[in-house]
Amino acid sequence: MAIPFLFLAVHCPEIPEQPGLQISTRNTQMKTRVLFSCLNGTLIGAEEMECLPSGNWSDPIPTCENVECGSQPNVTDSKVRVTVRSRQVGGTAEFRCPEGFGLQGPRTATCSPDGEWTKPLPTCEESAEERGGLLPHRTESCLAVPVVPFHTCNRKPAEVACQPPPAPENSHFEPKEGPFKGGDVLHFLCHKGFMPEGQPIIVCQEDGTWSKEPPKCVRSCGYLGTLIGGSMSVVKHYYTVGETVSFECEAGRVLSGPAQVRCLENGKWSGGLPMCTKTK
């Protein structure tokens, strides 16, 4: 007589919605792979995770570190008019002066990854016509008018472009291709087994330079997993080389496996995740 087998579908816990976190699928069945990205800011945690046969996800659910700058740049000259286009990373604020005044300094500021508006900030100075003097020569496209003892200038800001930065070792950046204009944001992603050291996003500034140097990707150990029936001293997405994690079981259970593991220089753990088995 044939013996019937009962197969139960394994599902992992549902992934809760988080502000700004984009999820490739809501499927929670075993072997499902889920991809994550952020609408704005930095993804903290794994870009991808899988539903394991144990009913646990292979990594902790990541979060989005949303970065915004202040309501507007702290301009000291009260005559400067500020229009904020966006306060998110890569967003810009535009400056202008009232009639009779000329803008001295950058025309825009960019929201950088550290939540600060780029500097220097401009001032408004009385134009030469108002002072009855001559307009200073400008670097913009100027037209000499013979009958008038000064130049009239048409301010036509050139399109600013940043050169693609070199990708740090063991990483890549997105988007992968330029051209990169002022306000564009690059996200650096470390390869598996590495973690970012420093802010993993940089911004193309209005002067054609990047807001900071690309981050380094250093060797790390990944998420250990969930200890069923016990607790772990530290639970994180990434662990630095030399860091240790200790394990402890609940009452009525005994630890089977190492009581502590260490992150080694090769990016691997000194031992595997133990089990907490019930005592008889």
Q: For residue range 165-179, list pLDDT tens digits in order.
A: 887 888 888 887 778
Closest listed residue to residue 208, CA positions, set 243, 163, 249, 170: 163
Residue type, 236: K
Closest listed residue to residue 65, CA positions, set 111, 22, 110, 19: 19
Write the DSSP symbol of residue 129. H
- State pLDDT tens for residues 73-86: 999 999 999 999 88
What is the CATH number that goes with domain 9-66?
Answer: 2.10.70.10
When the candidates are 3.40.50.300, 1.20.1630.10, 2.10.70.10, 1.10.230.10, the CATH number that belongs to 222-280 is 2.10.70.10
Residue keyed to tokens 């001295």: 104
- State pLDDT tens for residues 205-260: 878 888 888 888 899 988 888 788 899 998 887 898 999 999 999 999 999 999 99
